[in-house]
Amino acid sequence: MQPLEDIFTTTLTHAQTLGELDSQANPRNLARLLLCTTQGVALLGLVMDNNSKLAGAVESLLSLLEN
């Protein structure tokens, strides 16, 4: 999982450099949040009958990143 966390961190750090991510945000911590969320969504997507609940969680995560 470390390579994926590193990719997320690099991408978020780049976004921060471009001013697209709050300068006070911690890219490594956000990368870990993304990793946990994407892995959880992937797992739950396999066992849940209705993915609409997952869609709401993903929308909320993206909203956090946009602010």
State the residue range of the domain holding 33.
Answer: 29-67
Report yes or no on 37 lying in a domain: yes
Q: Is the pTM of this model over 0.85?
A: no
For residue 29, the model assigns a pLDDT of 96
Is residue 2 a part of any domain in this protein?
no
In a domain? residue 53: yes
Query: What is the number of helices (H) and of strands (E) in the chain?
Result: 3, 0
Task: Enter the tokens of residue 57.
Answer: 């969680």
At residue 30, the pLDDT reads: 94
Q: Is residue 9 part of a domain?
A: no
Q: Look at residue 35 and tell me if it is in a domain.
A: yes
Tell me whether residue 65 is in a domain. Answer: yes
Number of compact structural domains in the chain: 1
Residue 2 CA from chain centroid, whole number? 14
Q: Is residue 20 part of a domain?
A: no
In a domain? residue 33: yes
pLDDT in tens, 7-54: 999 999 999 999 999 999 999 999 999 999 889 888 888 888 777 878
Q: Work out the end-to-end distance of the chain between its first and last CA atoms, rounded to an integer number of angstroms.
A: 26
d(CA 57, CA 12): 20
